[in-house]
């Protein structure tokens, strides 16, 4: 099978799974508990929750499973009649999401029904067959009695819940499971598919992945190395994590993160506007490139520390670090006109600390004057200002125009493969002896440092333990020398490498 055929098969499975996966949207006005309910369903703090109304700005998409019943769960931005520009942007995006959903969990606050609630219920009357009415914050007997007045809204069944404490959630989930199963059957029929055909397609893709594992391992053996191919291709996790590579997009507000994410996924999940920081949550999407399925994490703009005054901004910075932990490769978006900021350096340090790959994407490159060797000058300046990133590829792109994006994705796959390389201890120590014979460690006052033994202990992060005759004051420059030799001799030039020094037993 050709690479083009494999790409087509992966893309076909991706399209089919997206097509038949029912969409469940959690909707309602701001601060009625939508994000709290969303987080309870998925079991993590994915959406920012805070007493401030309107904290969730973008629809957040997350695959969720209730027992064995799967759906795409969507936390929408709050519905509001406010004429504020950003509120208008959020509301229009929420309504667009609602129209595409199979099931709507409409969340109300038990303490009050506002004119906004009634306005949007009336607006959604034509979709009433899709709506499940959940009355939230029912956490005492007095509030249980208040639920009855909600029947006047015209719904036969109402689910009183407390998203914070979990009351009523089991009953709501049972109703959701029934509706999700019905929606899945409907979607399968609409696309002229059968459950058997979908399973056969999944089996064929799994077979291709197994072949890829064997090919990768054979190529690696010829180079004298091993690659953790099963972990690389996630063969054992594709049911719960159906992607081949996890990519996070980070950077300062309005550097083009969401423009890039929207272009890659073919959606407009992120709000793109001129207001700095219009993306607060981590948004998750997917797309296919080559024969790989990408998971894409788009994060809130990371501000300088002295501007992080509100809890919300603290949450967003924390979420960005969480995105680093979930990713294998991080794309750090840099504005071509503004360059690398101090905050970019701090985020880059976090990426290196976690042992993830990083690509510096210099965006809006098309807006700069065309000067010979400009990109090399940019690379030299970044490497001078932040030498810890000397291994990181620096690529000029235009997220808006699409230029440089293909190279960005190809580079991310190259980096991912390097991240999962395992070097045999025997080969490593042969190289270590040769490196020291050619370039011995320095000496001080008659004492000669020596590296005795080296072994790789992990991938992602790629970490080595180096045993030396005296760990105290062992020259940092020589550790850097060994790192560089590993990168050069084993074709690992684009990833961070971590070292731990230990004293050998005999000095």
Binding site for GTP: residue ranges?
28-35, 75-79, 136-139, 251-258, 298-302, 363-366
Sequence-distant (≥ 6) Cβ neighbours of residue 109 within 8 angstroms: 31, 32, 33, 135, 136, 137
DSSP classification of residue 6: H
Which residues lie below 8 Å from residue 384, measured CB to CB, with a gap of 6+?
none
List Cβ neighbours of 296 (8 Å cut-off, separation of 6 or more).
247, 248, 249, 261, 264, 265, 284, 285, 286, 287
- What residues form the annotated binding site? 28-35, 75-79, 136-139, 251-258, 298-302, 363-366
| Closest by CA position to 33, among listed 76, 3, 65 | 76
Half-sphere exposure of residue 178: CA atoms within 13 angstroms, side-chain side? 7
CB neighbours of 212 closer than 8 A, spacing ≥ 6?
A: 229, 233
CB atoms within 10 A of CB 24: 24
First to last CA, the chain: 56
Contact residues for 480 (Cβ-Cβ < 8 A; gap 6+): none
Within 13 Å of residue 420, how many CA atoms lie on the same side as its CB?
Answer: 21
Q: Is the peptide bond before 434 cis (omega within 30 degrees of 0)?
A: no
Closest CA to 233 of 298, 296, 293: 293
């Amino acid at each position: 099978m050709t690479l083009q055929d494999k790409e087509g098969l992966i893309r076909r499975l991706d399209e089919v799974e997206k097509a038949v996966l029912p969409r469940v949207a959690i909707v309602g006005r701001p601060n009625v508990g939508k994000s709290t309910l969303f987080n309870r369903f998925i079991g993590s703090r994915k959406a920012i929750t805070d007493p401030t109304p309107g904290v969730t700005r973008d629809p957040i998409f997350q695959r969720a499973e209730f027992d064995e019943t799967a759906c795409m769960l969507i936390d929408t931005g709050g519905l509001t009649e406010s004429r504020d520009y950003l509120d208008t942007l959020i509301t229009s995006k929420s309504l667009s999401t609602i129209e595409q959903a199979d099931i709507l969990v409409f969340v109300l606050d038990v303490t009050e029904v506002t004119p906004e609630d009634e306005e949007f219920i009336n607006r959604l009357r034509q979709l009433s067959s899709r709506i499940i009415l959940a009355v939230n914050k029912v956490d005492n007997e007095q509030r249980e009695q208040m639920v009855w007045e909600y029947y006047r809204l015209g719904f036969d069944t109402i689910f009183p819940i407390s998203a914070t404490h979990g009351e009523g959630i089991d009953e709501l989930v049972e109703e959701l499971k029934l509706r999700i199963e019905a929606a899945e059957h409907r979607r399968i029929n609409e696309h002229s598919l059968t459950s058997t055909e979908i399973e056969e397609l999944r089996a064929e893709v799994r077979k291709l992945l197994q072949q890829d594992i064997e090919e990768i391992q054979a190529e690696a053996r010829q180079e004298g190395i091993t690659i953790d191919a099963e972990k690389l291709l996630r063969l054992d996790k594709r049911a719960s994590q159906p992607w081949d590579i996890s990519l996070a997009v980070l950077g300062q507000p309005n550097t083009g993160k969401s423009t890039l994410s929207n272009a890659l996924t073919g959606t407009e999940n992120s709000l793109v506007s001129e207001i700095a920081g219009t993306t607060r949550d981590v948004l998750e999407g997917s797309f296919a490139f080559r024969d790989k399925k990408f998971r894409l994490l788009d994060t809130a703009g990371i501000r300088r520390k002295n501007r992080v005054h509100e809890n919300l901004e603290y949450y967003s910075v924390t979420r960005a670090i969480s995105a680093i932990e979930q990713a294998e490769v991080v794309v750090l978006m840099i504005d071509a006109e503004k360059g690398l900021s101090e905050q970019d350096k701090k985020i880059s340090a976090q990426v290196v600390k976690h042992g993830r790959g990083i690509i510096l994407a210099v965006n809006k490159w098309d807006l700069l004057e065309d000067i010979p060797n400009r990109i090399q000058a940019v690379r030299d300046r970044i490497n001078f200002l932040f030498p810890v990133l000397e291994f990181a590829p620096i690529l000029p792109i235009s997220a808006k125009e699409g230029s440089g994006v293909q190279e960005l994705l190809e580079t991310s796959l190259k980096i991912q493969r390097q991240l999962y390389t395992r070097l045999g201890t025997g080969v490593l120590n042969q190289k270590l002896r040769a490196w020291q014979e050619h370039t011995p460690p320095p000496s001080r006052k008659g004492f000669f440092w020596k590296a005795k033994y080296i072994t790789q202990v992990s991938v992602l992060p790629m970490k080595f333990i180096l045993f030396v005759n005296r760990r105290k004051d062992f020259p940092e420059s020589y550790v850097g020398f060994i790192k560089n030799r590993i990168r050069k001799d084993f074709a690992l030039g684009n990833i961070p490498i971590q070292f731990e020094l230990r004293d050998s037993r005999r000095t």
